[in-house]
Amino acid sequence: MKHFLTFLLPLLFIIACNTKEKSGSMTITESIKKQALDSLLNRHGEINRYRIEKGVKQVASLWQKEDGNADDFITFCTENFIADSSQLETLFLKISRNMEILSGNFTRMSLQLREPLDLEQGPIAPVDLIFGAYNPASHLSDDFFKNKLNFHILLNFPAFTLAEKLEQGSGWNRRQWAYAATGNIVKSREPAELQQKLSDVATAAETYISEYNIYMGTLVNNNMQSLFPVDKKLISHWGLRDELKANYNVPGGFEKQKMIFALMNRIINQEIPAKVINTNQYQWNPFTNKIYEGTREISSNREEDVRYQHILNYYKLFRQQDAYYPQYPTVIARAFEMNTQIPRETVEELFKKILSSKEVRETGRLIEKRLGRKLEPFDIWYNGFRSDGTLQEAELDRITLSKYPTINAFKNDLPAILVKLGFDKEKAAYLTSRITVDPARGSGHATGALMRGDVAHLRTRFTDKGMNYKGYNIAIHEFGHNVEQTISLYDVDYYMLNGVPNTAFTEALAFLFQERDLELLGFNKNSEEQEALSVLNILWNSYEIMGVALVDDALWEWLYNHPDAQAADVRDAVTTIAKEIWNKYYADVFGVKDQVILAIYSHMISYPLYLHSYPLGHIIQFQLKDFLKNKDFGKEIERIYSIGSITPEAWMLNAVGNPLSVDPLLKASSEALKKF
């Protein structure tokens, strides 16, 4: 998972023109704009009309009283529009250079300030939260309006809407894409204090999640038996989910899975006793929700609706942001139209095609057959299609702990991992020299550098004995992110195109890496049957996370329809929405209604409206996987991820020659099912 910090930096390459009246603003009338337009046309001619009209309109939309009067506006436009192509390229290159310096250093500063929160460095002090929440870049946009830099960008580089990019982009060359990205640098004139408040809320939510651990050895069943090792500590939801997945085909695993499932339901419904979160002082029966001190039952209040208060905190600030984005007046619109660059309706139609498919239902029946029992709701995380279906976690832990007893042992093995994946030695050394590894406090994440010369950070959990299999599995996923982040920064032809179209595209490479984690440990089963199982694994993973994403999306729609909601209302809404989506797409497969399990994901709390990136990532993953068959994996990944941050549609056509679609996955799944 990419770090959410980048979402908060004001150097997002986005524009949204604010036309609402605010204190200190002034209206640039059509008459004033016409005077500026006529002056520029007289000077530079009709050949430049399109850029002149765009530039004047963009500057006028964000010009405020403190920027100058009408004459100042006309003078600025007249004197600073650049018609000469060589001079425009010089301006572009200088903007690119300085944006790299600023965004790169601000990102590095923020990461360093957040280290006590993100890394395992002991207890978090109150001052750590203050420094970690500080956004060094929060005043940058204000400063660049004051010194007129933003107006230079607005005047000279047209900002294209998504519709315009889709219509015109097929005919653009690389420089035109880079110029279009430059036109998308300037955000709306959002106040610095609002950006800082959002950073504060994000830090609080991330810290809440990173500190939300369950000591599994303290859990007891109705016979007061503990099923888990005393030293096993798992973070919600990632650790709990992965522990549940690890207990297929394990003696006693089904009972452990049911206990984890009961625990998850307590978290979602906010019924979990506050005393059992991140502590091993008490024993807790998640089935009855009773807690004990020794053998004596004691009372405990449930956790207050903290989980849902964090969502509400985000919502209140996002509503304040809305006024500054008239083209994208809700955070939902910004998440899809502005960031994902795919309309929500298009995304959800892709998901629903999988969720309603006969291939999913046939796969569910196959899983029942393989398990030898009826499906349980937690079987949305069935992982028996992977080649480790018969491997026990203890054996995998033994291998990874032996192989990676220290962080440096894993870091030093990164070049060899890339070679095994299909990169040549020289490229593997080049990439891994730009990646560092840190011990994560939370489940793990990847944060890329935003300037050449800096390094990407891979964070995963290490135990005092070394890296267990869960940590290794996450690390391979995050390593995929880091490789993308490094290629799309260092190998892209224009800095303004660094990155990918949206986070789903980096998730796709992370998934491609992660699915080969056991192969990297020496478990290699490249049989026809295993390839078919791999297809079904992607389908089932997509089925699970698509429902989760729909819950996240629907929650935010509900929030906008209930602006006065309290945390308890949000809790009730989440559980109601989760049940509705379960009943629509899952109840017929699992044979049980009204389940809330789709609401367990911690992303809902700390990374709002991020979850749709995962299923999109699975769709892209499969299309890449299908394309890469019998090709040089390393060379093709280098080529594909150097395409950069153009539109998703253009990226897919350049990468694999086909648009984004679920049809290849459904077709391959149908063929795979015939083998069983």
Per-residue pLDDT reduced to its tens digit, 470-485: 899 999 999 999 999 9
- Is 434 found in the same domain as 455? yes
- Is 151 found in the same domain as 103? yes
- Is 667 found in the same domain as 601? yes
- Is 470 found in the same domain as 362? no
Least confident segment among 54-63, 71-80, 280-289, 528-537: 528-537
Pick the residue with more confidence: 349 or 445? 349
- Is 359 found in the same domain as 444? no
The domain tally of the chain equals 4
The amino acid at residue 293 is E
Burial (CB count within 10 angstroms: exposed 0-12, middle 13-18, buried 19+), residue 221: middle
Rounded (10°) angle between helices 567-585 and 528-561: 140
Beta bridge partners of 405: none
Instruction: Read off the pLDDT of residues 435-450 as tens digits, 9 standing for 90 and up.
Output: 999 988 877 789 999 9
> Does residue 636 belong to any structural domain of this protein?
no
Q: Label residues 398-423 b or e (16+ Cβ within 10 Å = b).
A: ebbbeebeebeebbeebbebbebbbb
- Is 161 found in the same domain as 139? yes
- Is 581 found in the same domain as 483? no
Please give the backbone phi and psi of residue 284, each rounded to the nearest 5 degrees, phi first: -140, 130
Sign of the CA dihedral with 268 first, then 271, 274, and 277 last: negative
Long-range interactions of 592-597: CB distance < 8 A, separation 24+: 592/377, 595/377, 596/265, 596/268, 596/269, 597/261, 597/264, 597/265, 597/268, 597/377, 597/378, 597/380
Determine which helix (DSSP H) or strand (DSSP E) holds 372, and give its type and residue range: none
- Is 163 found in the same domain as 37? yes
Residue 650 scores a pLDDT above 90? yes
Residue reference for tokens 């009204």: 594
Answer for the pair 501, 341: CB distance below 8 angstroms, yes or no: yes
Q: What is the CA radius of gyration of the chain?
A: 26
Cα angle: 481, vertex 390, 675; to 5 degrees: 85
> Does residue 193 belong to any structural domain of this protein?
no
- Is 533 found in the same domain as 513? no
Picking from 9, 606, 607, the residue whose alpha carbon sits closest to that of residue 335 is 607
Please tell me the pTM assigned to this model: 0.88
What does the DSSP 8-state code read for residue 425? H
Instruction: Read off the pLDDT of residues 533-552 as tens digits, 9 standing for 90 and up.
Output: 999 999 999 999 999 999 99
Compute the distance between CA of residue 367 and CA of residue 295 in angstroms, rounded to an integer: 40
Rounded (10°) angle between helices 238-246 and 253-268: 160
Q: Which residues, in sequence order, are CB contacts of 221 under 8 Å at separation 6+?
A: 227, 255, 259, 285, 287
- Is 135 found in the same domain as 71? yes
Instruction: Read off the pLDDT of residues 252-307 as tens digits, 9 standing for 90 and up.
Output: 999 999 999 999 999 999 999 999 999 999 999 999 999 999 889 999 999 999 99
Residue reference for tokens 């749709």: 612
Answer for the pair 458, 449: CB distance below 8 angstroms, yes or no: no
- Is 171 found in the same domain as 35? yes
pLDDT band at 578 (very low <50, low <70, confident <90, very high): very high
Domain, as residue range, for 118: 5-188
